[in-house]
Amino acid sequence: MPGEADRTSRRLALLIATSKYDDPDLGKLRAPGRDADGLARVLGDPDIGGFDDVRKKVNAKQRELLMSIDDFCAEARRDDLVLVYLSCHGLLDAHHRLRYAATDTTRQRLAATAVASSWLNERLDDCAARAQILILDCCHSGAFAGGRKGSSLDLDLSQWFTPQGRGRVVLTASRGTEYSFENGHPSGEGVQSVFTRILVEGLRSGEADLDGDGNITIREIYKYLFDKVQVEERRQTPQLWSYGVEGDVLLARSAPGVVSSPSVPGTDAPRVQVPEHPRNTGATPAPEPRRVRRVLTRRRAIIVTAAILATVLAVTMYAFYISGPPATLRWSYSTTGPVDSSPAVADGTVYVGSDGGYVYALDDGTGHLLWSDRTGGPVGSKPAVADGTVYVGSGDGHVYALDADTGRVRWSRTPGGSVDSPAAVAGGTVYIGSNGGYVYALDASTGHLRWSHQVGQLNVSSSLVVAGDLVYVGCTNGDVFALAAGTGNSRWSYQTGGPVNSSPTVAGGNVYIGSDDGRVYALDAATGRSRWSYLTGSSDDVYPSPVVAGVTVYVGSDDGRVYALNIRTGHVRWSYATQGPVDSAPAVVGGTVYIGSDDGNVYALDASTGHFRWSYPIAGIRFSGPKVVDDTDSAGITIYIGSNEGDEVYALRSRS
């Protein structure tokens, strides 16, 4: 792109693509070779990228890559722009350090056979070039290192790329806990990755020139990538970091003959003025009059500076808008055993059970233990808190009533069978199910039995819901029941196509519930007549309880998706794909859906559109659903959730 008048500055690119691996544990990638070819063509095109030297290393061994990177960085000069692109597996070692895989990389010996991200960072630090672009199209989740999808690690990508005394921008295909997808395929030939394909298309067509000024800057290509990638693959979220860079960095020109129209929010803000880099066509650019260049007044400098700052602010606000406010860890508490129980919060205290048999009471602001009580079996159900008492069932077959302030046992009863069902408390009565197929009504003060009703020969793990004079519950024999709250007599039952572990939600005269047949059902609350049912993409579980907010039913499924359904028709408003089964119930607060996935993340999604706002990695969320509470000391919320792999209870703080 530099013209003949100025050949002291060069544009240099090194493209590294690895698709074939000797280690069978590293799955073959379909895209990298074609990725590098397509990107090399647009970068080397004098009318688009204008790069003077584009080098490719495809399916090279570790030593070849080390030498190529070292030579490339050593040859660069102070006024050069250097671009390094990697498309390969990204792996985390046992110490959570990021490494890039070569063809001869072995998972068991990453330190000796992979390219360390820290080493690449050091080479770029030592590189004389003051303008540096690093583009990474690889998985940073640790999924291949850990042997499973979705690492539990909160991998802050920025920690790996921070330069020492150089201007650098880093563009990545995904967040720290996501995959870079190849159109959903793990192996094969002949396709490009979603990220690189869209990158190449945006440069080649000129569509990434969002303001139509003939220049494609790094921030423009990032906005273009973010919007396009999210449409094709919501599980992948491109990221951009900028270190020590003033203004914006020019990546390419719009191809000749291409007219681009502004299409990004915030384009009314003053534009960053990008230095002219004429296409490398051999033509000499018309020189700007020297007198004009020299006589830049202080006032003009102030105006230009203000314009740049305004643009940076607009870009920052736009980035904040599209990515949503992040969550931060407020506190965590280590339990004895996994936490499948959903937390309950009342009067400044978080109550939660663990598979180690304990019930915990934690200070909601600090996570400090207030008390704990040990039962004789796993406590996987959500505690119910009412009138200063915590009611909870245990795998030892007991229902416990504990003093909410001290944990002292007020009473315990053995209705029969393991008690996995969360209790419901209404009108001085505790309603709870057991694995013997019974539903029990106990006096809340004494624990004395008021009535019992057998709803089947199998288990009742569903929460009971009391609405009006009826108690609603599901059973693993596939039935949904409505029982009279006062007597336990059956009012109606409805047979689904699979076991019902989901807890019912009652709203607007309907009962909403999921079944292991993969469907969500809407039943008339008075008669049990079917209003509608929706078949998710799962072949089995819709385990979690649906949640109703406004005119929408929100529910997770074993197919890894969160669904938003029209409350009257069951038609899909939107769905969002996570990377693991969603077996925990969502929470909907302030226009945001909060939900946990077995991919190891808590997600915040826009309730109206399903657009991704943020995610936070937590080790192993299976059945524990988030409890969201408004902060009393800040303008935000706190999300409480348990982990069934990390044996922890977490409190996350967010601004929404």
Task: Give the start-to-end residue ranges of the domains of the chain.
Answer: 11-264
Render pLDDT for 486-498 as a digit per residue (tens, 0 to 9): 999 999 999 998 8
Reduce the secondary structure of 631-646 to three states and give it as a string.
Answer: CCCCCCEEEEEECCCC
User: Where does 233-297 have alpha helices with state H?
Assistant: 290-294
104 has a pLDDT exceeding 80: yes
**Candidate from 131-135, 148-152, 555-559, 644-648 with smallest mean pLDDT:** 148-152
pLDDT of residue 366: 92
pLDDT of residue 257: 41
Find the mean pLDDT for residues 122-134: 90
317 has a pLDDT exceeding 70: no
Find the mean pLDDT for residues 300-314: 50
Beta-strand pair 98-100/115-116: antiparallel
Find the mean pLDDT for residues 518-536: 94
Render pLDDT for 498-512 as a digit per residue (tens, 0 to 9): 888 888 999 999 999
DSSP 8-state secondary structure symbol assigned to residue 2: -
CB atoms within 10 A of CB 48: 24
pLDDT of residue 180: 42
Backbone angles phi, psi at 14, to 5 degrees: -125, 115
Report the percentage of the chain scoring pLDDT > 90: 41
pLDDT of residue 118: 85
- Give CA angle at 254 (251, 255), nearest 5°: 120
Backbone angles phi, psi at 3, to 5 degrees: -85, 175
Task: Confirm if 178 and 143 have CB atoms less than 8 A apart.
Answer: no
pLDDT of residue 130: 85
325 has a pLDDT exceeding 80: no
12 has a pLDDT exceeding 70: yes
Beta-strand pair 81-88/131-138: parallel
Model pTM greater than 0.75?
Answer: no
**Candidate from 56-60, 193-197, 376-380 with smallest mean pLDDT:** 193-197
Return the closest-CA partner of residue 384 out of 328, 424, 346: 424
DSSP string, 89-158: -EEE-TT--EEE--TT--GGGHHHHSEEHHHHHHHHHH---SEEEEEEEE--S-HHHHTSSS-SS---TH
Q: Which comes out higher in pLDDT, residue 186 or 625?
A: 625
Find the mean pLDDT for residues 41-57: 92
Give the three-state DSSP class for 85. strand
Task: Confirm if 85 and 15 have CB atoms less than 8 A apart.
Answer: yes
447 has a pLDDT exceeding 50: yes
Render pLDDT for 246-258 as a digit per residue (tens, 0 to 9): 567 889 998 544 4
**CA 312 centroid distance within chain:** 26
Report the percentage of the chain scoring pLDDT > 70: 75
152 has a pLDDT exceeding 80: no
Residue labelled with tokens 């009412």: 386
Return the closest-CA partner of residue 615 out of 588, 596, 630: 596
312 has a pLDDT exceeding 50: no
Give the three-state DSSP class for 36. helix
DSSP 8-state secondary structure symbol assigned to residue 428: T
Residue labelled with tokens 């890894």: 560
Mean pLDDT of the chain: 79
Return the CATH number of 11-264, one of 3.30.1300.10, 3.40.50.970, 3.30.56.10, 3.40.50.1460.
3.40.50.1460
DSSP 8-state secondary structure symbol assigned to residue 170: E
Half-sphere exposure of 399 (CA within 13 A, CB side): 31
pLDDT confidence band for 99 (50 / 70 / 90): confident
651 has a pLDDT exceeding 60: yes
73 has a pLDDT exceeding 80: yes
Spatial strand order of the sheet with 490-495 comes to 465-467, 470-474, 479-484, 490-495
